[in-house]
Amino acid sequence: MKFAKVLEQTLIEEDIPEEWVEAAIQYKSLKKCITKVVNELRFLGLEQNDLKLLLQDPSKSQVIEMDQHEAEATNPIIAEYTLTKQAGSDDHTDPNDIKPMLKITLDYSNENFSDDHIYQLGLQLKNRIEKLLNEDEDETHDIHEIEEQKDDELKVVSPHSSKHGSPPLSPEQKPTVPIDEVLDDDVLDPNVRKNEIYILLNSDTKFFRMLNDELENLDKLKTSEESKLTTEVQNIASVITTLTDLKGWLKNSDMYKWRELFKIYLDSEVYFRYNETSNSASERNSEQIKKNLSQFMANVEKSGILTTFKNKKSMYAYNQFLQMNFHLLKILQFQSINSEAFRKILKKFDKQTSLGVSARYPKLVSNDHIFIKGSSLAQSICFIMQSSILTLIPQIDDYTCPICTSVAFKPIKLQCGHLFCVRCLVKLKQQDKKNCPICRNQNAVVKADGTNLDEELMQLMKRHFPIEVKEKMKERNLEKYNEMKGKGDHSKGEKCEIV
């Protein structure tokens, strides 16, 4: 299936909003524009295969043969296609406008060809350009501007009676002169050893202007939808904060239910592999995200969490959370298909014209468009989601003691940053362990004292893990009791082990 049809079908099947569709890459219109570029080049006598042989290859610093049967490494006529940004010096010039230019060089100093041979090539070129500029107004043959430069002196060339009209000239440009006068006197004069003719086609200018406008629309849409998603995340965070508040104690709070729900969400790795949200290379594609979201919903349903919510508003908040995720998925799907359209339309431009813009154009405009260079929307929203929602209810795995694997209540933070419960640290000291058992930091255990108690973290554990803290205190008290009775490590209540 052709990509234009795939694009159209995807926008329909994924139920993309109408205002988004209007902002999408207009692939069919751009294809028509490419056809006009091809027609203009063909009218100049520059077919696709001719351009392949005529264009300079900047990556290899060599000229590709104009004649497939020539063995020489150079040509008397060389074409070069350039893309430059407009200066934006006046109110009528968009600084993001791209000015494409086809430069054709006629070099009489080339010793591999006779002046007469070069003259004949120049004559053919002159006749094509002259015929083109004096044609009646026709959108297919609409050359916008031609400049001619001989030995570093620039002139703007125009037809002696063209209906195309003269383009606005920049201050440094000379007044226009008739095409037949310039080409007869200069391009065909062997005494002028090097002539350059700059051709500004109309259709490729329209193509890049149209493409730039569509990228700007996508920029605006991305910014707008990111703002909406951020608001949605903040609203959900506000609701969940209320639902997990422990002022009414556990009997009225859904904190543990939401913790379990968020653990399932994190384990589903919907948008990124676990703990790799800063790495764009680990970002899931839209199909994988859709699959992961469905799996998350199935796992939540299977867990039975939804039927055990104590507050009816929790179900509402869960639905809002799902809706926000599907909103983000839809944006990513839209962004993905447009990125593909952007890549393919430039590839098609190159395929049909051989002008080689697919690598150069994105680099030239990337700083102007967040759609191309901006951070991934999934990265941005996942970061906001993680900092605004997921951190509201910490996961127990992030606050466990690595020795006893239960909550690290009365947390002692060693100089190396590793965290242990006070009971395990006391045992380390009793066993004359000096270094951190995790990273082997020298004397980290020996130097630990009461000042290493992280009181702020201890209050957080009391607030977010009341059941685990209560169980930990019970185990510690039982262990102390058994030690006092002489049962020591053989006690049924033994929990802390040094390994």
| pLDDT score recorded for residue 64 | 33
Q: Are residues 309 and 192 in the same domain?
A: no
Q: Are residues 195 and 331 in the same domain?
A: no
| Angle of the 377-388 helix axis to the 312-353 helix axis, nearest 10 | 160
Kindly state whether residue 449 falls inside one of the protein's structural domains: yes
229 in Cβ contact with 381 (< 8 Å)? yes
Domain boundary among 337, 365, 392: 392
Kindly state whether residue 11 falls inside one of the protein's structural domains: no
Rounded to two decimals, the pTM is 0.75
Kindly state whether residue 307 falls inside one of the protein's structural domains: yes
| pLDDT score recorded for residue 195 | 72
Nearest Cα to Cα of residue 236 among 302, 332, 334, 328: 328
Q: Are residues 327 and 427 in the same domain?
A: no
Kindly state whether residue 223 falls inside one of the protein's structural domains: yes
Its domain, for residue 292, covers: 212-392
Domain boundary among 208, 225, 258: 208
Q: Are residues 384 and 249 in the same domain?
A: yes
Helix and strand numbers (H, E) in the chain are 17, 10
Angle at 379 between CA 463 and CA 342, to 5 degrees: 165
Domain count of the chain?
Answer: 3
Helix (H, G, I), strand (E, B) or coil at 472: helix
Q: Are residues 141 and 224 in the same domain?
A: no
Q: Are residues 222 and 195 in the same domain?
A: no
| pLDDT score recorded for residue 259 | 93
Domain boundary among 154, 187, 208: 208
Q: Are residues 347 and 443 in the same domain?
A: no
Q: Are residues 103 and 194 in the same domain?
A: yes
| pLDDT score recorded for residue 409 | 93
Kindly state whether residue 381 falls inside one of the protein's structural domains: yes
Kindly state whether residue 77 falls inside one of the protein's structural domains: yes
Buried-exposed string 353-380: b where 16+ CB fall within 10 A, e elsewhere: bbbbbbebbbeebeebbbbbeeeebbbb
C-alpha pair distances (Å), 4 with each of 178, 348, 354, 434: 43, 12, 21, 68
Q: Are residues 324 and 405 in the same domain?
A: no
Kindly state whether residue 3 falls inside one of the protein's structural domains: no
Q: Are residues 382 and 468 in the same domain?
A: no
Kindly state whether residue 10 falls inside one of the protein's structural domains: no
| pLDDT score recorded for residue 167 | 37
| pLDDT score recorded for residue 277 | 59
Residue-wise pLDDT tens for the chain (499 aa)? 789 999 999 989 888 999 999 999 999 999 999 999 998 888 777 776 666 655 654 444 333 333 333 333 345 666 778 888 865 545 555 666 788 888 877 776 766 767 777 777 777 766 766 665 555 444 444 555 555 555 444 444 433 333 333 333 333 444 444 444 545 555 555 555 667 777 778 889 999 999 999 999 999 999 999 999 999 999 999 999 888 876 655 677 899 999 999 999 999 999 877 666 555 556 788 889 999 999 999 999 999 999 999 888 999 999 999 999 999 999 999 999 999 999 999 999 999 988 889 988 998 888 888 887 766 788 888 888 888 888 889 999 999 999 999 999 999 999 999 999 999 999 999 999 999 999 999 999 999 999 999 999 999 999 999 999 999 999 989 888 888 877 555 444 555 555 5
Helix (H, G, I), strand (E, B) or coil at 296: helix
**CATH no. for residue 474?**
3.30.40.10
Q: Are residues 370 and 230 in the same domain?
A: yes
Distance CA(35)–CA(491), nearest Å, equals 85
| pLDDT score recorded for residue 382 | 85
| pLDDT score recorded for residue 355 | 87
Q: Are residues 321 and 432 in the same domain?
A: no
Q: Which helix (H) or strand (E) holds 78?
A: strand 77-85
Would you tell me how many other CB atoms lie within 10 Å of the CB of residue 40?
Answer: 24
| pLDDT score recorded for residue 26 | 94
